Structure 1
Amino acid sequence: MSSVDEIKIDLPPLSFEKSPETQDERIKREAIEELIAKYPENRIPIEELRKQALSELGLVNDDLRRVLWPQLAGVDVNSLERVPTLAELQSHPEYNQVVLDVNRSLKRFPPGIPYEQRIALQDQLTVLILRVIQKYPNLRYYQGYHDVAVTFLLVAGEEVAYAIMEELSTTHFSECMQETMEATQRRLMFIWPVVHFEQPELFQFLQRSTVGTLFALPWYLTWFGHSLNSYKAVVRLYDYFLASPMYTPIFVTAAILLYRSQAILSEDCDMASVHCLLSKLPDDLPFEDLLRTSSKLYDKYSLTVIEKKVEELIKLEQEQRQLEERRRRYPRSTSAKPDYTLSRWVLKKLTTKSVMMTTAVSIVVGICAYYYKNQYLAAGIS
């Protein structure tokens, strides 16, 4: 099974099912509406706005998100740029790839909308994406970027969605839009220190399985927008991420792994089984609880400490590979008694002091295979 086959899942249509407003939702909606009325031009103090977005139920509904998401993203809706036509952007090198991805994103649009409206939304999505990468030539489009953009388009409309995506592309998603996926690969490794600190048994199981972090790649690249089947869950997460530091998706990922620890530990300890389990998010995840856990984890562990642990792992992995290379070059005599002292030392370091055993090279290969092979698949090359 290739890395592409493992991660490329045919998702069901995104559910836009609406349920009656609960009493808690009504109470919070009214509280937010009072804040909007209190401050002219929707200039709610940013800390108060973040508090509302982070706390249970988030911003409640899309009417409020349409007003408040731009402020959370740092966008001035009074100074929006002119929207170019699609024809003006057709010469961009990424045009064909973006169109292919947008055409494949039908499941992310509300069901039952008129054909003409859907086509118009797809054209708007294409223009939105191309505008960003044309304005910032140093940013590279990646598959999954359209999953983020379509969410903002559906909530905020074309002009505001572009302004939000422009801001996020130069901040939260800037690592994902580099020439290579190396920075993203390294960032995903930050999952393991948190899991290791919280549940060493789970960490060791996941490392023995050699599952790597490929299962979490679409979560990170799309703020879970590609992997969830509920629109309500997607926009709730976007409330949270817009109000949070840029690496918060890493901590949400760790929170999900910790929450699912019993199911994970009950699985066969091999890459295929564990990847299959992790790559499919259950529909009934208690996201409000998970977001609270994520916030606690973020406050508990500094990025500096986590990065130091990742550096330790990379160094240990390099030492292990060098040791293995020397053994291949200079095989021992079959009559010689093997000396496992160094091996035991490396294993001890990996299991007690490191934060991750997944080989960096294997992750790079997996992610690059996913990234580049998907480009070929999208172009019809098998």
Structure 2
Amino acid sequence: MMESHISSEVTSVDEENSSLMFNDDSSNFDKTSDLAVDSNGYDENEDTRSELKFDDVLETEEEKSKRSKIEDALKNNKSTLETWQKLAIDKYGLVNDDLRRKVWPLLLCVDPDPSEKAPLLSELSQHSEYNQVVLDVNRSLKRFPPGIPYKQRVALQDQLTVLILRVIMKYPHLRYYQGYHDVAITFLLVVGETVAFRIMERLSTDHLRECMEPTMEKTSYRLNYMYPILQKEDKELYEFMDRATVGTMFALPWYLTWFGHSLNQYRDVVRLYDYFLASAPLMPLYVAASLVINRRQEVFEIGCDMASIHCLLSQIPDNLDFELILERASKLYKKYPPNKIERDVKNRVQKEMEQRRRDELRLRRRLDKNKPVWMKMHHYLPDWLLLHYKSKYGLLFATATLLVGLYAYYLRATESGFSLFKTGSWHT
């Protein structure tokens, strides 16, 4: 069983230095915020989100055509959920953030209530998860727009922390996990604080629900879906990775963050979010399998070594064709839906558990061979006799008990005239 709150963060030196400026504790954070207000004239009611922009990317002719389709669908009051899903899944997704801001809520059927006011950060600082959330938010600077001014970064960090804590306070049975903030910041950047809360609320009780359980047992189980998919689609690649015992840990941050933590290009992240919001909850696993297949040649070239393959797959290059990867993922889902590979997943997990037990038994036997004789005695003598067999006093007590028993036996044998030394040819 894997522990909850697994961290896959890799923090750069710059990020670590920057994080010292923010939210190390509630008192320091308040002082920093006050300083920002005094020196920059920052109004806490100012909407800084409108200025949070990533570098603009010119749209191709195909993307402009796709934009027109989306805009037409938004004007058409006969557009349905299926309309939005098809547009989000098809090539180029929703094209740009101005369209995502309108369509993402429609994909999840959320109806934001602007009258519900978000709590202040100071009101949430006593929550048990507050310190961990703040720590993770401080380490997510690479997800912020490049060159973002100081006051806007502070404001965005505040909003992100409040957004996360609002969800887990509203649903106490849900547990925050490290990586959740990577999902939350994507929605915060695109749709703003009010709509982002409704979206995260919906996803946390649906798509991400298993990831927010007290342990990561179900999440670990889900990751095994990749291998039956690989086995059926690319047997050579499957056998190579299985022989190298690569496992599934390389894909854990992919699944927990919808690839948000593992991708360097913002454009790729939001494109994948278009796709996932319009797809079944387990679709990230099919995208993971598709991505591995996409890099099959690199896997073969690096050699059949667990550490090397894990390292290779953990780092996703910036030049991948995600449209091709998503198209293959859709085909894989149709060919091998979850209900058809569930038995294969259970068999794989069972085999891994049995192998783990054999490995543990083999290790225990190897360790036993190297133990002194007196340490092995605890397998054959009762605990009350040995007491603390690692203690010399426990051993002395055990020896004394044995000697007293032998002496008592000798006295009784003497009184009855019986002796082990008076039998048969051994009489002396």
Same fold? TM cut 0.5: yes
Q: Distance in 2 between matches of 1:65 and 1:330?
A: 59
1:349-372 deviation per Cα after TM superposition (whole angstroms, max 9, x unaligned): xxxxxxxxxxxxxxxxxxxxxxxx
Q: Distance in 1 between matches of 2:272 and 2:140?
A: 20
Q: CA deviation at 1:34?
A: 1.2
* 1:63 pairs with one of 98, 105, 113: 98
1:179 counterpart = 2:214: yes
* 2:65 pairs with one of 14, 22, 27: 27
Q: Is the 8 A contact 1:264 1:274 kept in 2?
A: yes
Q: Which residue of 1 aligns with 2:76?
A: 38
Q: CA deviation at 1:90?
A: 1.2
Q: CA deviation at 1:44?
A: 3.1
1:131 counterpart = 2:131: no
Q: Distance in 2 between matches of 1:228 and 1:102?
A: 17
Q: CA deviation at 1:56?
A: 0.4
Q: Within 5 A, what are the aligned runs for 1:142-161?
A: 142-161=177-196
- When residues 131 and 209 of structure 1 are mapped into structure 2, their CA distance, relative to the original with a 3 A threshold, is same
Q: CA deviation at 1:316?
A: 3.0
* 1:103 pairs with one of 135, 138, 143: 138
Q: Is the 8 A contact 1:227 1:281 kept in 2?
A: yes
List gaps (5 residues or longer) in structure 1.
332-382
The AA in structure 2 aligned to 1:115 is: Y
Q: Which residue of 2 aligns with 1:218?
A: 253
SS in 2 for 1:266: helix
The AA in structure 2 aligned to 1:33 is: E
- When residues 327 and 226 of structure 1 are mapped into structure 2, their CA distance, relative to the original with a 3 A threshold, is closer
Higher RCO by CA contacts (8 Å cutoff, separation 6 or greater):
1
Q: Is the 8 A contact 2:221 2:349 kept in 1?
A: no
- When residues 166 and 327 of structure 1 are mapped into structure 2, their CA distance, relative to the original with a 3 A threshold, is closer
Q: CA deviation at 1:135?
A: 0.6
- When residues 312 and 31 of structure 1 are mapped into structure 2, their CA distance, relative to the original with a 3 A threshold, is same
1:141-193 deviation per Cα after TM superposition (whole angstroms, max 9, x unaligned): 01111011000000000010011000000001001100000010000011100
TM-score normalised by L of structure 2: 0.72
Deviates more, 1:123-132 or 1:264-273: 264-273
CA RMSD of aligned residues (A): 2.5
- When residues 177 and 325 of structure 1 are mapped into structure 2, their CA distance, relative to the original with a 3 A threshold, is closer
Q: Distance in 2 between matches of 1:328 and 1:119?
A: 51
Q: Distance in 1 between matches of 2:363 and 2:89?
A: 53
SS in 1 for 2:302: coil
1:234 counterpart = 2:266: no
Q: Is the 8 A contact 2:7 2:179 kept in 1?
A: no
Q: Is the 8 A contact 2:7 2:178 kept in 1?
A: no
SS in 1 for 2:158: helix
Q: Is the 8 A contact 1:7 1:214 kept in 2?
A: no
SS in 2 for 1:142: coil
Q: CA deviation at 1:329?
A: 8.3
Q: Within 5 A, what are the aligned runs for 1:251-262?
A: 251-262=286-297
Q: Distance in 1 between matches of 2:298 and 2:341?
A: 26
List gaps (5 residues or longer) in structure 2.
16-52, 367-428
TM-score normalised by L of structure 1: 0.80
Q: Is the 8 A contact 2:224 2:349 kept in 1?
A: no
Q: Distance in 1 between matches of 2:204 and 2:338?
A: 21
Deviates more, 1:312-321 or 1:232-241: 312-321
Deviates more, 1:222-231 or 1:268-277: 268-277
Q: Is the 8 A contact 2:163 2:193 kept in 1?
A: yes
Q: CA deviation at 1:330?
A: 8.7
Q: Is the 8 A contact 2:121 2:158 kept in 1?
A: yes
Deviates more, 1:245-254 or 1:74-83: 74-83
Q: Is the 8 A contact 1:225 1:234 kept in 2?
A: yes
Q: Distance in 2 between matches of 1:136 and 1:100?
A: 21
The AA in structure 2 aligned to 1:297 is: L
* 2:341 pairs with one of 288, 300, 306: 306
Q: Is the 8 A contact 2:211 2:219 kept in 1?
A: yes
- When residues 103 and 6 of structure 1 are mapped into structure 2, their CA distance, relative to the original with a 3 A threshold, is closer
Q: CA deviation at 1:17?
A: 3.6
1:220-246 deviation per Cα after TM superposition (whole angstroms, max 9, x unaligned): 000000000100110000000000000
Q: CA deviation at 1:314?
A: 2.8
The AA in structure 2 aligned to 1:315 is: Q
Q: Distance in 2 between matches of 1:237 and 1:325?
A: 40
Q: CA deviation at 1:16?
A: 4.0
SS in 2 for 1:160: helix
Q: Is the 8 A contact 1:191 1:250 kept in 2?
A: yes
- When residues 158 and 274 of structure 1 are mapped into structure 2, their CA distance, relative to the original with a 3 A threshold, is same
Q: Is the 8 A contact 1:59 1:65 kept in 2?
A: yes
Q: Distance in 1 between matches of 2:361 and 2:311?
A: 35
Structure number, greater radius of gyration: 2
Q: Which residue of 2 aligns with 1:288?
A: 323
The AA in structure 2 aligned to 1:243 is: A
The AA in structure 2 aligned to 1:183 is: K
Q: CA deviation at 1:35?
A: 1.2
- When residues 317 and 142 of structure 1 are mapped into structure 2, their CA distance, relative to the original with a 3 A threshold, is closer
Identity %: 56
The AA in structure 2 aligned to 1:28 is: K
Q: Distance in 1 between matches of 2:100 and 2:7?
A: 34
- When residues 38 and 189 of structure 1 are mapped into structure 2, their CA distance, relative to the original with a 3 A threshold, is same
Q: Which residue of 2 aligns with 1:9?
A: 10
Q: Is the 8 A contact 1:142 1:177 kept in 2?
A: yes
Q: Which residue of 1 aligns with 2:237?
A: 202
Deviates more, 1:218-227 or 1:81-90: 81-90
Q: CA deviation at 1:80?
A: 6.1
- When residues 319 and 31 of structure 1 are mapped into structure 2, their CA distance, relative to the original with a 3 A threshold, is closer
The AA in structure 1 aligned to 2:123 is: E
Q: CA deviation at 1:22?
A: 1.2
